[in-house]
Chain A
């Protein structure tokens, strides 16, 4: 009886998950013609003035590379200014950025430490440009990225924010390679959420806003260490359009160790849930479209669904391992050739559903890579993602749920 109850919940969750995958794949087929890479050699009809803010805190090693990558952007120098804001670094960041002190495009600011959003806000307050963006000091951009963003703003006057495709730069560890594939998947979903007006994060690296966004709804606010999500939700609650410009590519470095990844993802998962709770008035309200109906409920419940499905898989895996252990303990290890008889091929409903999920997942991954990288290249990251993600993600998801329930805040680092 109990088993039937838990199985039924699982079936409902699996149906919902499948529904979402189908929904996004339909969107993909609707959008596929618009996904072709446009030529970027053309001159823009208009170059909006742009400020790029680089907030940095103890980033002596990477900040210079970041600023150089901005200076190399194909964009008229008189239309682009860079604000480097040192948020009270305790290392040699301030010294490192002095190499740009005499560059007319670069302005240096130094302030007391107050958190990333305060550094960005200082930049916004000092900017008079039409477009204001931000680039974290651990990221750098492709030369054409800003032109792509500016083109999108030119073409759509109602677009209030444009977010890029984020790609993991030179992954080395298995975890980083896994994240590269994860970011490809995110690229796919971001691109699909874009025409649905359902993007709920304007990520730190290279998101751009029209200045009137800040004039109308204010600056970044402290929000559970996920300020970029709060601003996106505030924009969405005011019906401001956020679009994904998938041809604008920005590279970022991924946490290399499990502990660092855990800290980052705990912050994301916790912040995601807390911000959603803060903006809960948008939940399941049709006037907020797919955002209210799908994206936001997902950022609240996806964790629960994921954990539930995971514990189901884990329960059965542990049971199978325990049985194998009893068998080996009883009769020793038998060197039997694994049976290839089709009779023993698992064709239970749940098994067939997982084959379907795997198939759809691969379609999404394939197209995610194509979107992010321009063409599909097979990589070990895909294997790592399939094999590892389900094992490592529950670590931070569980903790995030616990933290939300007990209202324990997460820290940045």
Chain B
């Protein structure tokens, strides 16, 4: 039988191909734009934090011998800002993979900011005798640390519950000399996850309860907060 089949012009195949390619690469482009925006947002947070640290350092240098009360660097707002940055960075790390140059750059900057903040807090401690609540946390995401993910959840939870707590987290394998120095100062072994709490090293997974036992202040803060809330609700119910 004669072929009476509809003849499809090559033009149509090509046209469909062009549209598909345009849609496909637009998706790629849009995704890239969003990812660039994300990087810009993280960068701007980092810059703000850098500015805050610089401001605190300057304030500290200026005041040196004067009253410790006027040094404004122990508050919770700064710690929260670091927390926000950490959440964004870990999201980007997850989406872009660990090998993304941009993410690594942002992480290095973030690590340096953490170290600067840590040093500043240490200085305030020495001068003013306040005992800051800090945890230094070393993790690895090369797949050689099964408990790191869980430890991360625990620290995130603690950070959410206690804005007073400063958690400095460092990628153990990040190629940054400042981190290497931190590791050697604290004598961190490659047994991850590793926590440094008040100059004491702890290896392996530590639950929220374990950490609260190491830092009893956390329990006290919670008790105080609960008491405060109880009185608040008592007065409001009296009204």
On chain B, the residues within 8 Å of A15 by CB distance are: 20, 24
B95 to chain A: closest residue by CB: A348
8 Å CB interface, A70-116 against B: none
Tell me whether B24 and A289 are in contact (CB under 8 A). Answer: no
- Give the segment of A200-208, A324-332, A362-370 that binds chain B: A324-332
Tell me whether B24 and A331 are in contact (CB under 8 A). Answer: no
Query: What is the CB-to-nearest-CB distance from A211 to chain B, in angstroms, rounded to a whole number?
Result: 16
Tell me whether A196 and B30 are in contact (CB under 8 A). Answer: no
B150 to chain A: closest residue by CB: A330
On chain A, the residues within 8 Å of B95 by CB distance are: 346, 348
Query: What is the CB-to-nearest-CB distance from A332 to chain B, in angstroms, rounded to a whole number?
Result: 8
Tell me whether A18 and B6 are in contact (CB under 8 A). Answer: no
A217 to chain B: closest residue by CB: B1
Mark interface residues in B1-40 (1 if CB within 8 Å of A CB, else 0).
1111111100011011101100110011011001100100
- Give the segment of A58-66, A218-226, A233-241, A384-392 that binds chain B: A233-241
Of B23, B95, B157, chain A has the most CB atoms within 10 Å of the CB of B23
A195 contacts partner chain B, Cβ-Cβ < 8 Å: yes
A15 to chain B: closest residue by CB: B24
Mark interface residues in A166-205 (1 if CB within 8 Å of B CB, else 0).
0000000000000000000000000000011100000000
B155 to chain A: closest residue by CB: A331
| B154: contacting residue among A14, A330, A352, A353, CB under 8 A | A330
8 Å CB interface, B85-113 against A: 88, 91, 95
Q: A331 to B209, alpha carbons, bound, how many Å?
A: 10
Known: A239-B3, A241-B4, A347-B31. Contact between A331 and B157, CB under 8 A? yes
Tell me whether A19 and B16 are in contact (CB under 8 A). Answer: yes
Tell me whether A239 and B2 are in contact (CB under 8 A). Answer: yes
Q: A346 to B23, alpha carbons, bound, how many Å?
A: 18
Query: What is the CB-to-nearest-CB distance from B150 to chain A, in angstroms, rounded to a whole number?
Result: 4
Ordered by A's residue number, 25 sampled pairs between the chains whose C-beta atoms are within 8 Å are A15-B20, A18-B23, A19-B17, A19-B20, A22-B16, A22-B19, A22-B20, A23-B16, A158-B4, A196-B6, A216-B1, A239-B2, A239-B3, A287-B5, A289-B6, A290-B6, A323-B149, A330-B154, A330-B207, A334-B160, A343-B41, A346-B95, A347-B31, A347-B34, A356-B27
| B4: contacting residue among A239, A290, A353, CB under 8 A | A239
On chain A, the residues within 8 Å of B156 by CB distance are: 331
Q: A290 to B13, alpha carbons, bound, how many Å?
A: 10
Mark interface residues in B152-190 (1 if CB within 8 Å of A CB, else 0).
011011001000000000000000000000000000000
- Chain B interface, >50% SS class: helix
Q: A347 to B36, alpha carbons, bound, how many Å?
A: 11
Q: Count B interface residues, CB 8 Å.
A: 37
| B8: contacting residue among A19, A290, A353, CB under 8 A | A290
On chain B, the residues within 8 Å of A317 by CB distance are: none
A26 contacts partner chain B, Cβ-Cβ < 8 Å: yes
Query: What is the CB-to-nearest-CB distance from B167 to chain A, in angstroms, rounded to a whole number?
Result: 14
B208 contacts partner chain A, Cβ-Cβ < 8 Å: yes
Q: A239 to B157, alpha carbons, bound, how many Å?
A: 69
B residues adjacent to A (C-beta < 8 A) = 1-8, 12-13, 15-17, 19-20, 23-24, 27-28, 30-31, 34-35, 38, 41, 88, 91, 95, 149-150, 153-154, 156-157, 160, 207-208
On chain A, the residues within 8 Å of B8 by CB distance are: 196, 289-290
A349 contacts partner chain B, Cβ-Cβ < 8 Å: yes
A270 contacts partner chain B, Cβ-Cβ < 8 Å: no
Tell me whether B153 and A326 are in contact (CB under 8 A). Answer: yes
Q: A352 to B25, alpha carbons, bound, how many Å?
A: 11
A345 to chain B: closest residue by CB: B34
Q: A380 to B13, alpha carbons, bound, how many Å?
A: 35
Known: A22-B20, A323-B149, A331-B154. Contact between A347 and B35, CB under 8 A? yes
Tell me whether B91 and A344 are in contact (CB under 8 A). Answer: yes
A209 contacts partner chain B, Cβ-Cβ < 8 Å: no
Q: A197 to B4, alpha carbons, bound, how many Å?
A: 9
On chain B, the residues within 8 Å of A14 by CB distance are: 24
A288 contacts partner chain B, Cβ-Cβ < 8 Å: yes
B146 to chain A: closest residue by CB: A326
Known: A330-B154, A348-B95. Contact between A195 and B6, CB under 8 A? yes
On chain A, the residues within 8 Å of B12 by CB distance are: 23, 26
Query: What is the CB-to-nearest-CB distance from B24 to chain A, in angstroms, rounded to a whole number?
Result: 6
Q: A346 to B34, alpha carbons, bound, how many Å?
A: 9
On chain A, the residues within 8 Å of B150 by CB distance are: 326-327, 330
Q: A330 to B5, alpha carbons, bound, how many Å?
A: 64
| A343: contacting residue among B30, B38, B207, CB under 8 A | B38
On chain B, the residues within 8 Å of A351 by CB distance are: 31
On chain B, the residues within 8 Å of A330 by CB distance are: 150, 153-154, 207
B41 to chain A: closest residue by CB: A343
Kindly list 6 other residue pairs between chains A and B, CB separation below 8 angstroms, not including A22-B23, A330-B154.
A18-B23, A26-B12, A197-B5, A326-B150, A326-B153, A348-B95
